[in-house]
A and B are shown apart, each in its own frame.
Chain A
């Protein structure tokens, strides 16, 4: 079974600075999809960024980018120019070829003004 590990339960960053959230996963599949979700106190899960495993190029969405290392099974999220609205719980997720989703335990991000 696939597992997703987020080793940082809590992180903090100064406003306007950069922070990196870590994620590793374990799988025997070659084709899969990876996601980062943000969950603010409102509870709504919001997609931040996605990465297809077959793509070598790292995905980027405005201030959010990933460092995808397929051989190392690592998928970290970098948030640049952090804003107060980035404060939330962040979940790394893996979508298997069988359409099951596996979520990490989450990283709580605090943005310090």
Chain B
């Protein structure tokens, strides 16, 4: 399976600022996803990153707050904009290949704390 390098692994940010999280995959993937996860809880899908076009956002998440880019099949970024303490969470990127029975693979996660 592919390997995703996600960075930063953690950050502490001031409210009102923005943070961009990057994910680099070591092979081409058909779909990439961005999740948010509160410690000890399940994953909540933020959006599906589409190559060369606007991401598809889930209910409750908007592009102005979480702009996503995916310029090619191996790279994507998520920006958390105008942060508030409520944005403190773990953010995970994930990718899947074209073969139907393959699993999703994940980056190492970014633990974000907004103060």
Contacts and interface: CB of A to CB of B under 8 A. Distances in A.
A, B co-complexed: yes
Interface in A61-113: 89, 91, 93, 95, 97, 99, 101, 103-106, 108
Which bracket fits the contact residues of B?
20 to 34
A101 B94 contact: yes
Contacts, number: 50
Given A52-B101, A99-B30, A101-B33, A44 B42 contact: no
Contacts of A47: 1, 103, 105
Taking chain A's interface residues, is the majority helix, strand, or loop, or is none over half, making it mixed?
Answer: strand
B55 interface: no
A53 to B, nearest CB: 10
A33 B41 contact: no
A89 B30 CA distance: 27
Interface of B: 1, 30-31, 33, 40-43, 45, 90, 92, 94, 96, 100-101, 103-106, 108-109, 111
